[in-house]
Structure 1
Amino acid sequence: MYLITNGQVVTEDAILESHEVLIRDGLIEGIFPSGTIGHELCRNVIDANGGYISPGFIDIHADFIETMASPRPTSVMDFGLSIRETEKVLIGHGITTMFHSLSLYKEDEFGFKPIRQAKNVRKLIDLIDASHNRQHLIRHRFHARFEIDNFDEIENLKQYLDQNKVHLVSFMDHSPGQGQYRDLEVFRTTLKGYKDITDQAIDGIIAKNQLKEKLTIQMIKEIADLASEKNIAIASHDDDTVEKVELVQHFGATISEFPITLDVAKEAKRRGMYTIAGAPNVLLGGSHSGNLCAATATKHQLIDILCSDYYPASLLHAVFILHEKHGLDLGAMFNLVSINPAKAVKMDNEIGSIKKGKKADIIVINKIDENYPAITAVLVDGKLVTRTHYRV
């Protein structure tokens, strides 16, 4: 049993000043005004010191594991070690549930990544699946990012679905001329940032990609139907037109990852889809690809979820930047990284908010130097997994 006291409890609807949370047998027993529960009744007391007592963050799109497993194109670390070290990093950023976004690519024009080879993806998937029944710090889940020209991996993806190893499926198309790279100059600039390449060579890459064969809508729908049968959420990726939003919803997508414009995000919302923006976009002040500004879209109430994408620290800081710099309600910003993603991936009956009967995935956030939010305690499944004490 744990008592987290003397804090500001973040609920789905409000932030409760001077409250405490009682945890018993891994579940949230209740929220009470501070001092209600006598400390003598609970041996494990965590003093929040006036900080925020928040649900643990749920990150449903992040490829950070790829960097940890292969920090250089010629360096591939032991995958078991990589997952262990990754979760140690993630709890320091308040992430208690991570959907590791592993890519099923046929070819990556931005450079060879050994971690995206089919055999390595399979190894990581199997380790993520095995983690559920081994000692672990956080909830590990697998987000299958399927590039729609990868005919070679269709049967493998179906197998992963059949084996209950997939927890979210997204369909991606990174071809230049549409989606994230609808502006071909952005594609050129980005590609040159990855490799020394001539404009003539880039012209060849663009032409090749625009002519390549892709899965038909019926093929995509067949995979989507398998996911739906397993009650797995389906996402589209980089929606760049209203027509594409209509199309992806046709095959069962309920999540629009990184809509490219305000109009597209608005259409996805109108259709009842969850919209996702990258938290690094908030920290950077805009999209690194020249697309939708996450802060602007959030101000227009067009973003439901923030994900860390490639930078785990961004979730925590984006919440406070959107509140302190952009004047948005702090409680609503916490929802972008907790209950909203939980709803999108159908986990909200167990986690995502501090509510009686839910699993106690809870973090404590204190401000350091007045303006720097820091994670100082993390509980997962009602067990304390880390404490951090800043010293003067």
Structure 2
Amino acid sequence: MSLELTLCGADVLLPGEGLARAELAIAGGRIVAQPAGRRIDLSGYMLLPGIVDLHGDGFERHLAPRRGAMKQMNEGVLAAEAELAANGITTAVLAQFHSWEGGLRGAEFAARVFHAIAAVRDDVVTDLIPQLRFETHMLDDHAALPARLAEWGVSYVVFNDHLPHDRLAQGRKPPRLTGQALKAGRSPEAHLALMQKLHARREEVPQALDELCSRLSRQGVQMGSHDDAAADTRQVWRDRGVRIAEFPETLEAAEAAKAGGDHVIMGAPNVVRGGSHNGNASALDLIAMGLCDALASDYHYPSPRRAALMLAATGVLDLASAWRLISDGPARVLGLEDRGTLAPGKRADLVILDAATHRVAATLARGRVSYMSGDIAARLIG
């Protein structure tokens, strides 16, 4: 049941006004213009729009905490949702691989994940959106993919290519071959043979992707590319109707994406760390240059909140602009016009932070509590 409350005494991040002392009323799962229900004193707290996470795979640790411990997939999704809520995330895109890498990234595991998300969707408060990360060189899977997406209820696909093409072209063994093969349940020899087979058919991939993207576009599937390294690569994806650039590796690729009107997503851990862990483009640099539309958790759910607060604290952006990268910005990328700001008529998706520590005290999605801790509980329950 959604709450009917008037929250007062807190500093509220209002659209177009920045952080200011104001009242915020919620009723019927929406933010409303007039006072509603009980008045709750939230002095000492900040009210901000709920975080919209565009891409995260941190849920994997809950679904498969160790090899063989994957029997209760639904319970894993519920545990992941609890972590999302504890970090102020009210809408979460759960990014699951469909890859030749097998194991937790294989097609069978993906099916189980998507079925579990669908099974618990009505039992959770956080809005969970499944995303498929599809390996481009799996040519034998192209034909059936649109139907499988429809079966799984997936309407967001991101294309990846993690084959070590340089090594394979040189006839050298890829790094970490044995460990990767064991995770996939294959011998190292069989795993290498599969990679070599996929690499050998690389000339067929561009045309196959043209056809696949055309089919997915007609099906209404939103599409993104991952780790674009060059401007011409982004142009190829744009021509296919793939208008989201996830984690471009270079300034050139990010500039090309923005120049073409595409959305650029960067990883929040990149901001928190102060740079990419593998030498790719710095999210801080792209943000300062106006080349980033949204930040995503990537693999660490606390990072969106921390990144936005760091951007504001260091003066890279004001708080409203920084928070927009994790709320209104990603909502716009996803086409979700009903959330992202604390404006009347929008969903009552909000996060309550302790003003002194900036820790998450409570999270509400569509006016329902998904997380609550400490003193805030006494105030809300009252």
TM-score (norm 1): 0.83
In the other structure, the counterpart of 2:283 is 294
Q: Which amino acid aligns with 2:21?
A: S
What is the identity, as a one-letter code, of the residue corresponding to 1:98? Answer: A
CA distance in 2, matches of 1:318, 1:166: 28
SS of the equivalent of 2:363 reads strand
Alpha carbons of structure 1 residues 123 and 323: separation in structure 2 relative to 1, 3 Å: same
Report % sequence identity. 27
Which has the higher mean CA deviation after the structures are superposed, 296-305 or 223-232?
223-232
Instruction: Give runs of aligned pairs for residues 1-392 of structure 1, distance below 5 A.
Output: 1-30=4-33, 37=35, 42-43=37-38, 45-107=39-101, 114-132=103-121, 134-163=122-151, 165-176=153-164, 191=176, 208=196, 211-214=199-202, 216-348=205-337, 350-367=338-355, 370=356, 372-389=357-374
How has the CA–CA distance of structure 1 residues 117 and 46 changed in structure 2, closer, same or farther, with 3 Å as cutoff?
farther
Closer/same/farther in 2, CA of residues 94 and 170 from structure 1, 3 Å limit: same
Gap runs ≥5 in structure 1? 109-113
> Which residue matches 1:111?
none
Higher mean displacement: 119-128 or 381-390: 381-390
Q: CA deviation at 1:209?
A: 8.4
Query: In structure 2, do the counterparts of structure 1 residues 267 and 240 end up closer, same or farther at CA, with 3 Å as the change threshold?
Result: same
TM-score in terms of structure 2 length: 0.85
Q: CA 1:48–1:106 in structure 2 vs 1: closer, same or farther (change >3 Å)?
A: same
RMSD of the TM alignment (CA)?
3.0
Shift of 1:388: 1.4
Q: 1:220-275: CA deviations, max 9, x gaps?
A: 23332333334332101100011001100000111100111112111111111110
**Cα deviation code 1:81-109 (max 9, x no counterpart):** 1001110111000111111100000126x
Deviation at 1:390, TM superposition (A): 5.8
In the alignment, the residues of structure 1 paired with residue 80 and residue 346 of structure 2 have an alpha-carbon distance, to the nearest angstrom, of 25
Residue 303 of structure 1 aligns with an amino acid whose one-letter code is C
- 3-state SS of paired residue (2:234): helix
Look up the SS of the partner of 2:217 in the other structure: helix
Alignment: residue pair count: 360
- Determine the C-alpha separation between the residues in 1 that align with 2:106 and 2:234: 30
Which sections of structure 2, spanning at least 5 residues, go unmatched?
Answer: 182-188, 377-382
In structure 1, how many angstroms separate the alpha carbons of the residues matched to 2:55 and 2:250?
Answer: 19
CA drift of 1:152 comes to 4.0
Q: Partner of 2:9: helix, strand, or coil? A: strand
Q: Distance in 1 between matches of 2:178 and 2:283?
A: 23
The 1:156/1:100 distance shift into structure 2, 3 A limit, reads: farther
Contact 1:258 1:278 in 2 (8 A): yes
